[in-house]
Amino acid sequence: MLDITPNPLPRETPVSELLLLSNSTSPGLGFLEHALDTIAALLPAGRRRLLFVPFASGDPDRSATVMTAALAPLAVEVTSAHRLADPAAAVGSADAVFVGGGNSFRLLRAMQDCGLLTAIAGSVRAGMPYLGSSAGTNMACPTLRTTNDMPIVQPRSFEALALIPFQINPHYLDPDPASAYQGETRRQRIEEFLECNDVPVLGLREGSWLRVSGGAAAIGGTASAALFTRGAAARELAAGSDVSALLAAVPRFDVGRP
In this structure, are residues 37 and 66 in contact, taking their beta carbons and an 8 Å threshold? no
In this structure, are residues 225 and 237 in contact, taking their beta carbons and an 8 Å threshold? yes
Is residue 28 left, alpha or beta, with left meaning phi > 0 and alpha meaning psi from -120 to 50?
left
Annotated active-site residue in 82, 95, 171, 241 = 171
Residues 256 and 220: their CA atoms lie apart, in Å, by 33
φ/ψ of residue 133, rounded to 5: -135, 140
Cα–Cα distance list, 100 to 31, 64, 244, 256 (Å): 12, 9, 25, 33
Amino acid found at 98: F
149 catalytic, yes or no? Answer: yes
Indicate the Cα dihedral angle 230, 233, 239, 242, nearest 10°. Answer: -50
Annotated active-site residue in 57, 149, 198, 208 = 149
In sequence order, what are the residues at sequence separation of 6 or more whose Cβ sits closer than 8 angstroms to the Cβ of residue 213? 16, 17, 18
59 catalytic, yes or no? Answer: no
Pairing status of strand 208-213 against strand 216-221: antiparallel
Amino acid found at 235: R
In this structure, are residues 24 and 100 in contact, taking their beta carbons and an 8 Å threshold? yes
In sequence order, what are the residues at sequence separation of 6 or more whose Cβ sits closer than 8 angstroms to the Cβ of residue 89? 119
208: helix, coil or strand?
A: strand
Annotated active-site residue in 134, 198, 208, 224 = 134
213 catalytic, yes or no? Answer: no
- What are the catalytic residues? 134, 149, 171
